Structure formats: structure tokens, C-alpha cells
Amino acid sequence: MDHQELEHKIRSDFKVFLTLVWRELDLPKPTRAQLCIADYLQNGPKRLQISAFRGVGKSWITAAFVLWVLFNDPDKKIMVISASKERADNFSIFCQKLILDISWLNFLGPQDKDQRWSRISFDVGPAKPHQAPSVKSVGITGQMTGSRAHLMIFDDVEVPANSATDMQREKLLQLVTESESILTPDNDSRILFLGTPQSTFTIYRKLAERSYRPFVWPSRYPKDTANYEGLLAPQLVDDIEKGVERWTPTDSRFSDLDLMEREAAMGRSNFMLQFQLDTSLSDSEKFPLKFQDLIVTSLGPECAERYAWSADPRYMIKTLNPVGLPGDRFYGPMFIDEGICPYDETIVSVDPSGRGSDETTACVLSQANGYIFIRQMMAFKDGYSDDTLTAIIRMGKRHGASKLLVESNFGDGMVCELFKRHLIQMQVGMDVEEVRATVRKEERIIQTLEPLLNQHKLIMDPKVLEWDYASNPESPPERRLEYMLMYQMSRMCRDKGAVKHDDRIDAMAQGCQYFIDAVAQSAHQAQARRKNEEWNAMMTAFENHPHLATDALVLGHSFRNIQGGAETKVWDWV
């Protein structure tokens, strides 16, 4: 092969360029995964993402791709953005080192002192004078605006430090979106993303919804491809369709034994995240409050004595809209005891707020037989106005609530005094009790709700879920989600500021905390005690009113024995 033919192959096929660079660096030949990534970089769409297992060499391959672009057209302008300025500079320095160390790339080096040549930005030798450098490196929070680029490379811009909460991810996504205004309007201009997702709520998922085509290459053939939502590399999909053995390595970069050792050292959840790019296990551990642990059933003025939970698909409620983690659904009870009993106590838990983006939220909760029942919820955007306080009191009166539980952190108890004044004016006999939170909000909510959910002691009326999903119809969809109780519940984790708005989940958790002592009693014990009391009442009825008891047995009807002004129910024993 003569020199001219070789140069043509180098210019037309990035895989050839990459192979030659690897040889110059005394590296083994590029593996199958590396060549597939190289092919996707060259022939992929205008906006793309590459997610591959740790150690495959994504950044090195992309650095070589930058030089291949400049090798073909020295006038191209390229911007490299990373989570930190130091990481972006390292990418730029590596490109410079390749230019200086590889003889057939030396022509891209600086030709005179007027050209830029620093770790922040540099020009390649044949480039025409231009305001923008050939390659510029910048941190994601640095100065991106004011520049122009034909190729933008985002190299690991999402890291745990800047994507732990909804607010951080929203800010990061906004910074990433600025790239659209920096990109030149040429037909061959492109935006490339390299990175490893940190959770299901990664910005890479948002980008996939905005036409950034992902390319996912895990270290092993996955046992279940459903978790990848059709984003696996096409080469791996072909292998799976041909019957490749699952859980075998997808590339020669790491052997099966090496991957086993790494999984043992890192732990399964970390391995699944970093090497399998599967976020499902990570999210299940990070976000402990699950919809499937709820019991969702209609509630009235009385409740059953006992409920049996099941996650069998037969009991899945398909008419409700879940806004939680993928695959998390609502389930109805498998069994409801036929015994009916009144609620032991009903309260209204209130989380007040001022005027602004937060909501004043009120939640009606009842408890009986060790269960806590979520019966109704209301939310208001006008702070603690007279209309809001009046509506909350009316809701409590309608459900027979005996107490208003008000968080006093806001307003230092002022809202409690306002409630007391309205209760007097409306002539409603309801106590007001202040609650002051001292534990950090995220920890407190999870510590309260997680045990209740794990033991399936939390029962919710589906009308609460329907109201929650339909609330704030005037807001854009992404804002509506942030205010939903179920969105707040599913995204709640122990990180500070886990969700942007937490008013609804906080009001519910506050009421549940009040009932924690009551939940300690067993539903079975309560049911047995109640039946024992009714048996004793029946025996007393036989002794005191034998003719009434005989009539009841003959007719097969229950009757009531009036003792001391209180009615005692006698069961139908026929």
C-alpha cells in the first residue's frame, strides 16, 4: 500500500486512524468495543451519547477522534467540556502530547509564536487565523458563552457531586443546553456526550428524550435487556438475537475472571452502575419509598379490621398514573377482613408556607388496628390566607378530625394562633397541636415512612392519588411533577435537597409520625381483643335478657344490648 492510498484510508476511516495511534502508543490493537465506539463517533447522528463500561477508553478514543477531525480539516473549532476545568484541561493536554509525539501528526503543531498553545486552548499549525482556538477546554460551570464550535464534546460532565439532587440536575441540564447556542449552524456540526449515568434521573436520560441518540455498551451481555430500554449498541443486540450466552464479557478488554474480581471488590450495586450501566439496582437502594409497598383501596367513614398486602400482578391498579421509578406500580389489597370498625383517631397534618413557590399542604390521616389511613389531601399556593385556613378546618370537620397538627418551624407558631382564632369563629371543637422538627427533613421523612411501607401499614385512598396527579393543571408538565406527592415520595433520598418541593410528603410524614406509637399495636391482636369484647357482651346479653338472646338466635339477627348508655353490638351467630 503506497503512501497516498494509506493517507486516503486514514482520512476516510477513523478506525484506521485509531489503530495507527494505538500502535504509536505501544497499545494493543483496538478491541471490538473500541472499534464500535470509533465507528459510532464517525458515522453516528449529529447529536449522540456514548455510555460504555469503565476502562474501555472512551476519553482516549474521543481524543484521537478530535485529532482525526483536525487531520481532515484543520480549520474546525472544537470545544471540550468536563465536570471540572482540570479534567477538561487533561483532555486538551493529551491531544497536544499526541501531536508532538507522533511524527505524522507533527504538522498539526504550532508553526509560529502567534498561534495559541496552552492547556486552556491551542491552535493547530495549518489553521487559518481565527478568533476561536482550534481546541478549547472548559469546565461545565466555566465560561462557555461567547465561543463558537463545530464539534462540542461533553466528557463526564455528570458526576455525583453535581447531580445528587433534582435542583442540581436541573442546573446541570440548563448548562448543557447552552451548547445549542454555541454550536455553529453548519451541516456537519455535532455534539457528543461521553459519560456514565449516576441514576435513573440522570441528565443523559433527559438528553435521550431530546433526540440525543444513546449508544450503550456494558461489560457483560445483560441477563435482562429491559433495563436498557432499547438503547444497547446494535452490535450487542445482534449477538443476543443470535443466541450469545448471557452474562459473558462483551469485549476482550476484561476477562470473565477480572470482571468477577471487580464485582467482588466494588460490590454488586456499584458494579452494575459502573460496568453494566444498569441503574435499576442503584435506584432501588437509593430511593427506599416504593409505591408497591402501599395498600391502595377506597376508604369510607369506617375501615376494615385487617388488610392483606400482595404485589401479585392480579392486584395491580392500572387505572392510576404512577410517576415513580420505572416498574413501580400501585397495588390493591389481596384480602380485606369483613369486620368493620371505626377509626380510633383522625387528625389533620398541616405543613404551612408563605406566599411563593411552596405550598401550604393539609393531609387527613386516621389510625385503627395498627394501620394508618391517608384519606384526603389539599394544597394551596396562597400561603396561610383566611380562605386556606377555613378550607382546611372544613376538611377536618368533614372527616371528624379531633386535632390539627401544625408544624411550627414556619412563622414560629403564628399559624397555630391563626388556626385557633378560626376554630373559635367557626365553632369547631378541634384541638391545635404544634410540632417542631429538629431532624433534617430528608432523614426524618424516610425514617418515618420507610418502616410503615415495609410493613405495609400505610393505606391510601385512590382519590388522593387521582387528586395528586390532576393538581396544578395550569403549570407546565415538568413543574407539575415537582409538586406531586407521589413524585416527591419516589424521589426522596437521604441527600440534602433531594427534591425541589417536599411540602406534600412532609405533611403526610408528619401525621404518620404522630401515629407511630399507635402503629405498634398488632392488627391481629386488636381484632382478637374486639371479638373477645363482643363475645363477653353477648354472654352478658344472654344472662340479662335471655328472651332477647333466644329471639336473636332464632331469627339469625344481631341485636344491641344497651348498657350504661353505650351500645354493644352482638354478632349474628346463626
How many CB atoms are closer than 10 A to CB 455?
Answer: 13
Comparing 455 with 554, the larger pLDDT belongs to 455
Q: Quick check: is 353 in a domain? A: yes
Highest mean pLDDT among 367-371, 474-478, 517-521 belongs to: 367-371
> What pLDDT score was predicted for residue 551?
55
> What pLDDT score was predicted for residue 561?
41
Q: Are residues 484 and 554 in the same domain?
A: no
**Burial class of residue 51 (count of CB atoms within 10 Å of its CB; 0-12, 13-18, 19+):** buried
Q: Are residues 38 and 131 in the same domain?
A: yes
The whole-angstrom distance between residue 287's C-alpha and the CA centroid of its chain comes to 7
pLDDT band, residue 546 (cuts 50/70/90): low
Three-state DSSP at 193 gives strand
What is the distance between the alpha carbons of residues 15 and 22, in angstroms, rounded to a whole number?
Answer: 10
What is the distance between the alpha carbons of residues 472 and 528, in angstroms, rounded to a whole number?
Answer: 45
DSSP E strands in 62-110: the ranges are: 78-82
Q: Which three cell numbers stand for residue 247?
A: 452474562
What is the distance between the alpha carbons of residues 479 and 473, in angstroms, rounded to a whole number?
Answer: 10
Per-residue pLDDT reduced to its tens digit, 292-338: 999 999 999 999 999 999 999 999 999 998 888 877 899 999 999 88
* Cβ atoms of 32 and 55 closer than 8 Å: no
Q: Quick check: is 261 in a domain? A: no
Per-residue pLDDT reduced to its tens digit, 127-167: 998 989 999 999 998 877 777 899 999 999 988 778 776 77
Q: Are residues 423 and 542 in the same domain?
A: no
> What pLDDT score was predicted for residue 361?
96
Three-state DSSP at 342 gives strand
What is the distance between the alpha carbons of residues 318 and 565, in angstroms, rounded to a whole number?
Answer: 47
Query: For a pLDDT cut of 90, what percent of the chain falls above it?
Result: 60
* Cβ atoms of 221 and 233 closer than 8 Å: no
β-sheet bridge partners, residue 333: none
> What pLDDT score was predicted for residue 559?
40
Q: How many CA atoms lie within 13 A of 262 on its CB side?
A: 19
Comparing 153 with 530, the larger pLDDT belongs to 153
pLDDT band, residue 1 (cuts 50/70/90): low
CA-nearest of 361, 325, 338 to 464 is 361
- Residue that has been written with the C-alpha cell 417542631 in this structure: 436
Q: Quick check: is 269 in a domain? A: no
Q: Are residues 338 and 352 in the same domain?
A: yes
Q: Are residues 513 and 554 in the same domain?
A: no
- Mean pLDDT for 337-351 is 93
Q: Are residues 320 and 354 in the same domain?
A: yes
- Strand 345-351, strand 360-368: pairing: antiparallel
Q: Which amino acid is at 517?
A: D
> What pLDDT score was predicted for residue 572?
42
> What pLDDT score was predicted for residue 570?
41
Three-state DSSP at 561 gives strand
What is the distance between the alpha carbons of residues 184 and 213, in angstroms, rounded to a whole number?
Answer: 20
How many CB atoms are closer than 10 A to CB 191?
Answer: 22
* Cβ atoms of 290 and 331 closer than 8 Å: no
Q: Are residues 368 and 515 in the same domain?
A: yes
pLDDT band, residue 549 (cuts 50/70/90): low
CA-nearest of 291, 391, 287, 305 to 344 is 305
Q: Quick check: is 3 in a domain? A: no
Domain of 123, CATH number, reads 3.40.50.300
The whole-angstrom distance between residue 380's C-alpha and the CA centroid of its chain comes to 25
Q: Quick check: is 17 in a domain? A: no
Q: Are residues 414 and 554 in the same domain?
A: no
> What pLDDT score was predicted for residue 404?
96
> What pLDDT score was predicted for residue 179?
86
> What pLDDT score was predicted for residue 540?
83
Q: Quick check: is 10 in a domain? A: no
Q: Which three cell numbers stand for residue 41?
A: 463517533
β-sheet bridge partners, residue 347: 365, 403
String of DSSP letters for 268-281: HHHHHHHTS---HH
- Strand 335-336, strand 307-308: pairing: antiparallel
DSSP annotation of 565: T
Per-residue pLDDT reduced to its tens digit, 14-52: 999 999 999 999 999 999 999 999 999 999 999 999 999
**Burial class of residue 295 (count of CB atoms within 10 Å of its CB; 0-12, 13-18, 19+):** buried
Q: CA quadruple 487, 490, 492, 493: dihedral positive or negative?
A: negative
The whole-angstrom distance between residue 455's C-alpha and the CA centroid of its chain comes to 23
> What pLDDT score was predicted for residue 479?
82
> What pLDDT score was predicted for residue 325?
80
Range of the domain at 140: 30-217
> What pLDDT score was predicted for residue 569?
43
Residue 248 has pLDDT above 50, yes or no: yes
Q: Which of 217, 235, 262 is the last residue of a domain?
A: 217
Q: How much is the pTM? A: 0.66
Three-state DSSP at 389 gives helix
> What pLDDT score was predicted for residue 547?
63
> What pLDDT score was predicted for residue 555?
43
> What pLDDT score was predicted for residue 429?
92
How many helices (H) and strands (E) the chain has is answered by 22, 20
Residue 90 has pLDDT above 80, yes or no: yes
What is the distance between the alpha carbons of residues 315 and 563, in angstroms, rounded to a whole number?
Answer: 43
What is the distance between the alpha carbons of residues 363 and 227, in angstroms, rounded to a whole number?
Answer: 35
Per-residue pLDDT reduced to its tens digit, 381-428: 988 899 999 999 999 999 999 999 999 877 667 899 999 999 999 999
Residue 557 has pLDDT above 50, yes or no: no
Q: Quick check: is 123 in a domain? A: yes
Give the number of domains in the chain: 3
Q: How many CA atoms lie within 13 A of 374 on its CB side?
A: 33
What is the distance between the alpha carbons of residues 106 and 117, in angstroms, rounded to a whole number?
Answer: 14
What is the distance between the alpha carbons of residues 545 and 522, in angstroms, rounded to a whole number?
Answer: 34
Q: CA quadruple 538, 540, 543, 547: dihedral positive or negative?
A: negative
Domain of 299, CATH number, reads 3.30.420.240
Average pLDDT for the chain: 87
CA-nearest of 279, 86, 79, 264 to 196 is 279
Q: Which of 494, 519, 544 is the last residue of a domain?
A: 519
Q: Quick check: is 18 in a domain? A: no
Q: Are residues 429 and 453 in the same domain?
A: yes
DSSP annotation of 134: S
> What pLDDT score was predicted for residue 56?
93
The whole-angstrom distance between residue 494's C-alpha and the CA centroid of its chain comes to 12
| Host H or E run for residue 527 | helix 523-544
Q: Are residues 555 and 452 in the same domain?
A: no
What is the distance between the alpha carbons of residues 281 and 289, in angstroms, rounded to a whole number?
Answer: 14
Residue 567 has pLDDT above 70, yes or no: no
Residue 186 has pLDDT above 50, yes or no: yes
20 Cβ contact partners less than 8 Å away, ≥ 6 residues apart: 10, 104
What is the distance between the alpha carbons of residues 545 and 534, in angstroms, rounded to a whole number?
Answer: 16
- Mean pLDDT for 551-556 is 47
What is the distance between the alpha carbons of residues 263 and 271, in angstroms, rounded to a whole number?
Answer: 5
Question: CA dist 194 to 37, 147, 204, 235, Å?
Answer: 11, 21, 10, 19
Per-residue pLDDT reduced to its tens digit, 217-231: 999 999 988 888 888
pLDDT band, residue 281 (cuts 50/70/90): low
Q: Are residues 505 and 543 in the same domain?
A: no
Q: Are residues 454 and 505 in the same domain?
A: yes
Of the listed ranges 342-356, 448-462, 512-526, the least confidently predicted one is 512-526
Q: Which of 188, 217, 246 is the last residue of a domain?
A: 217
Per-residue pLDDT reduced to its tens digit, 496-521: 888 889 999 999 999 999 998 655 65
